Structure 1
Amino acid sequence: MIARIMGEGQVKLDESHFTELNKLDDELLAEIESGDDESFRRTLGALLDAVRRLGTPLPDDALEPSELILPSADASLEEVREMLSEDGLIPG
């Protein structure tokens, strides 16, 4: 799956990493629902760091369609809330 972090490049993520990413996504959902901005900020950072660590960066000139769009690290709780689907940010 190709993922894009807004304001950054794209990475290719292997399906085997989605268990770890979904745990962080579930935590992020709970923090958004509770309005806990400090925890939200920490977990969003951890989720984005995990995507960067687990993903293989695509070249800057690659024009692959992104199947997953993630917010930037400085996105507000409200901005991320608007990006959510039923599954959160990460499908599954």
Structure 2
Amino acid sequence: MIIRIMGEGQYRAPEALCDELNQIDNRIVVLVEEGKVEEFRSELARLISKIKEKGEPIEAEELLKSDIIVPPEDLSLEEAKDVFKGAGIFED
């Protein structure tokens, strides 16, 4: 799976990582619904960190279609309400 972090680049993620990211994504959906700003920010930072840590960076010269687009860490709670809803950005 190809994941783009807005403003930071793309990463190739193995299936095992996607499962882990989906769990974090589901937690973010709940936190956004509950309006828990600090917890939401923490989990979004954790999601991005996991992608960078365990994903394989894709060179900027290589143009690939992204399967998932992850918003930047500075996403506001109001903006997150449009992104992290339903099944979130990682579909189950």
- Tell me if TM exceeds 0.5: yes
CA distance in 1, matches of 2:78, 2:61: 31
What's 1:81 paired with? 81
Could you tell me which amino acid in structure 1 is paired with residue 50 of structure 2?
A
> If the length of structure 2 is used for normalisation, what is the TM-score?
0.92
CA distance in 1, matches of 2:53, 2:90: 16
Conserved 8 A contact 2:4-2:11: yes
Conserved 8 A contact 2:29-2:86: no
- The SS at the match of 1:24 is helix
Distance apart, 1:80 and its partner CA: 2.0
Q: Which moved more, 1:15-24 or 1:30-39?
A: 15-24
Q: How many residues align?
A: 92
Write out aligned runs for 1:1-92 (5 A). 1-84=1-84, 86-92=86-92
CA distance in 2, matches of 1:47, 1:17: 10
Q: Where in structure 1 are there 5+ consecutive unaligned residues? A: none
CA distance in 1, matches of 2:34, 2:85: 17
Conserved 8 A contact 2:26-2:88: yes
CA distance in 2, matches of 1:39, 1:66: 27
> Over the residues paired in the alignment, what is the CA RMSD in angstroms?
1.2
Q: Where in structure 2 are there 5+ consecutive unaligned residues? A: none
Distance apart, 1:51 and its partner CA: 1.1
> If the length of structure 1 is used for normalisation, what is the TM-score?
0.92
CA distance in 1, matches of 2:91, 2:12: 15
Per the alignment, do residues 85 and 28 of structure 1 end up closer, same or farther by CA in structure 2, a change over 3 Å counting? closer
Distance apart, 1:63 and its partner CA: 0.8
